[in-house]
């Protein structure tokens, strides 16, 4: 299996990889109070895993992957036989270092890119959801969401059932 994110090819495939397909339930605020649950729609995939870089280049390899994490934004994630998708490297953790080995754990979240016009990505706000949680879910910043949603004057200006443009 080949495991690549942007220009970083993992020298050794992660030891664990878990792919979780998300789902969302649309909610609608009722005039009388409460919420009505609606249809389920596919949510972004989340890819979690980890492994160990070994050998004389282990620290350099982790540093290169960390550079991709710090760069932010989305890129192509190739999962070998599982195919590829556009994703954001949401978390990267060094789980330990011993000799010539560096352990790591990661979480990627699928991010639809190249959306324009009528096919924009829209998130329906759920009960108790915050703009920070929505930004984290899609791997973008709150500032990005505020910039492309001019009707939102502040991060706390969202309401359940409302729609937030993501890209």
CATH of the domain at 128: 3.10.350.10
The rounded distance, in Å, linking the Cα atoms of 139 and 61 is 23
Overall number of domains in the chain = 2
Beta strands in 31-118 (DSSP E): 35-54, 74-79, 84-98, 101-110
- Domain of residue 144: give its range: 115-167
Beta strands at 3-5 and 8-9: parallel, antiparallel or unpaired: antiparallel
pLDDT of residue 113: 52
The continuous run of DSSP H or E covering 135 comes out as helix 131-138
- This prediction has a pTM of 0.61
Nearest to 59 by CA among 112, 92, 101: 101
Banded pLDDT at 34 (limits 50, 70, 90) = low
Whether 6 and 68 map to the same domain: the answer is: yes
Backbone angles phi, psi at 30, to 5 degrees: -90, 145
Q: Is the pLDDT of residue 30 over 80?
A: no
């Amino acid at each position: 299996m080949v495991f690549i994110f942007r220009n970083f090819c993992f020298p050794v495939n992660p030891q664990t990889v878990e792919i979780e397909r998300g789902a969302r339930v649309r909610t609608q605020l009722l005039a009388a109070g409460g919420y009505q649950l609606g249809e389920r729609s596919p949510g972004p995939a989340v890819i979690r895993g980890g492994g160990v870089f070994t050998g004389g280049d282990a620290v350099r390899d982790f540093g290169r992957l960390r550079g991709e994490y710090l760069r932010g934004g989305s890129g192509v994630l190739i999962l070998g036989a599982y195919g590829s998708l556009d994703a954001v490297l949401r978390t990267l953790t060094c789980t330990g270092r011993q000799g010539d080995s560096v352990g790591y754990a990661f979480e990627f979240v699928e991010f639809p890119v190249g959306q324009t016009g009528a096919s924009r990505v829209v998130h329906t706000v759920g009960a108790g959801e915050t703009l920070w949680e929505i930004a984290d879910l899609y791997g973008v910043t709150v500032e990005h969401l505020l910039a492309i949603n001019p009707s939102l004057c502040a991060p706390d200006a969202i309401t359940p059932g409302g729609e937030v443009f993501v890209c």
